[in-house]
Amino acid sequence: MSECPCRKELMQRINEASFAVDDAKLFLDTHPCDEEALEYFQKYSRIRREAMKMYAEHYSPLTVDNAMYTCEDTWKWINEPWPWQEGGC
């Protein structure tokens, strides 16, 4: 694996991309043929997916969808700060 990214910065990237994806989904509900909005949605969905995978690889999975990317046999959620708590870098 590559250098371990800062947990706080990675969580911020996930939150920003998640917001962009949710916002784009709402826009696409009323503008389903907007190609630019669809490209925006796809771009930020990819960024979110990659950040979620990286978080799972270095810390622990945030969702069950990313459980396969962790290298641990067990998850240590109970022993570490939860994603919404201050976790530091």
Distance of CA 19 to the CA centre of its chain: 10
pLDDT for residue 77: 62
- Stretch 48-76: mean pLDDT: 78
Confidence (pTM):
0.74
CB 28 within 8 A of CB 34: yes
pLDDT for residue 1: 47
Structure tokens at 65: 């969808």
3-state secondary structure (DSSP) of residue 13: helix
